[in-house]
Amino acid sequence: MTLVNVVETSIFIRLFTVTNIPFLKLIADFTVQNGGMLSRALFGGVCTGLSSALAYKGDFSAGGVDIIAYYIGLKKKTLVGSYAVILNGATLLVFILLSITKEGWGDADMAARYVVGAFYTAIYLFVTKLVVDAINTRNKKVKVEVVSSKEALGDVLVESFPHAATKLKGKGVYSGKEKFIFIMVISSDELNAVMRLIQREDNDSFVEVMPLISVAGRFFTKPIK
């Protein structure tokens, strides 16, 4: 699927040109006249981030360093965007150093152009990361705590989702009734399904959802087929 994506990208780059589609020239001219390099960096970052994130959602990549970033993200069980920025940033740094070395360090104008270009490229990479991590939530984890009077709710949760849960016994301070507290860590893209299940099984339950920075230990992540 990554190979198909790369081939399609090559085809579309040749087809979607300002010569073939005059409307694209209007967009390009407007971008240049209203912000110049910054507008290009922002516009390009959003478009690239959107395309990469949609590819990740389909369990493939846009090619290039995205393949490596996606692999590292799966192994580390963390968001992909940061690794893509690190890999692309390293490539950018090597390119600048080699280019300046080839042209010579004495040309101040040339060096300034490379530095400015690197600055706007960094903005482009950062915007791409934000868009990718906002859409591709595969490795984003949340902790769900449920306070319920129904002990069987825990069994329903672990039967419906590929994650374990911890059950604690408690007592309502106001009601004085016995309560059960279920603690479960899930992927953020499973949250809506978990909430619907809880509401269906016990509409009177109390639910807390907390985002997690990282998770250590055994956590099931749906494998890529």
Residue 105: its pLDDT value, please? 60
Rounded Cα distance, 185 and 163, in Å: 7
Cα(71)–Cα(75) distance, rounded to whole angstroms?
A: 6
Total domains, the chain: 2
Are 108 and 15 contained in the same domain?
Answer: yes
- Within a domain: 222: no
Tokens read off for 145: 């705590």
Residues 121-179: pLDDT tens digits? 889 999 999 998 888 877 788 999 999 999 999 999 999 999 999 999 999 888 889 99
Is the domain of 76 the same as that of 148? no
With contact defined as beta carbons under 8 Å apart, do 205 and 144 qualify? Answer: no
55-91, pLDDT tens digit by residue?
888 778 888 888 888 888 877 777 788 888 889 888 8
Co-location of 128 and 146 in the same domain: no
Question: Taking the complete model, does pTM exceed 0.75, yes or no?
Answer: no
pLDDT-derived band at 219 (thresholds 50, 70, 90) equals confident
Closest Cα partner for 28 from 20, 16, 45, 40? 40
Are residues 54 and 131 located together in one domain of the fold? yes
Residue 46 predicted with pLDDT over 70: yes
Same domain membership, residue 124 and residue 192:
no
Same domain flag for 127 and 168:
no
12 pLDDT above the threshold of 70: yes
Q: Range of 178's domain?
A: 141-212
Residue after which a domain boundary falls, among 85, 120, 135: 135
pLDDT tens column, 163-209: 999 999 999 888 889 999 999 999 888 899 999 999 999 999 999 99
Strand ranges for the chain from DSSP E: 141-148, 166-171, 178-187, 206-212
Q: Are residues 10 and 104 in the same domain?
A: yes
Distances (CA, A) of 91 to 84, 86, 100: 11, 9, 14
